[in-house]
């Protein structure tokens, strides 16, 4: 699978700068460790850490910013590890 930026949630399986300048309202970020232990780090466009997630094989970890969401200028999946790991980003 490749990063899918065409739907909500965004589905990411590779580190990437999604945007350095666009405004995102993050509602929830979910990491799924499908077949191995997984970790992921997300940052804003200025490179500041928004959060780090860790999930064991078959489990999930999430950052929940509801109900108002976290406003972030820029969004980057800085790191992702673990075979089959996927990050889903729900935007408002």
pLDDT at 66: 86
Question: Please, where are the H alpha helices in the chain?
Answer: none
Kindly list the domain boundaries of the chain, sorted by start residue.
10-91
Distance CA 30, CA 89 (A): 7
pTM of the model: 0.92
pLDDT at 85: 93
pLDDT in tens, 8-40: 999 999 999 999 999 999 999 999 988 889 999
Contacts of 88 (CB under 8 A, 6+ apart): 9, 10, 11, 12, 28, 29, 30, 32
pLDDT at 33: 83
Is the pLDDT confidence value at 1 over 80? no
pLDDT in tens, 56-71: 888 999 999 989 999 9
Q: Residue 2 burial (CB < 10 Å; 0-12/13-18/19+)?
A: exposed
């Amino acid at each position: 699978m490749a990063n899918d930026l065409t739907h909500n949630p965004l589905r990411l399986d590779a580190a990437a700068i999604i945007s350095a300048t666009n405004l995102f309202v993050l509602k929830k970020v979910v990491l799924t460790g499908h077949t191995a232990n997984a970790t992921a780090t997300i940052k804003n466009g200025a490179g500041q850490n928004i959060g780090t997630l860790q999930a064991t094989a078959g489990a999930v970890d999430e950052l929940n910013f509801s109900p108002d969401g976290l406003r972030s200028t820029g969004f980057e999946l800085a790191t992702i590890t673990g075979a089959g790991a996927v990050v889903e980003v729900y935007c408002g």
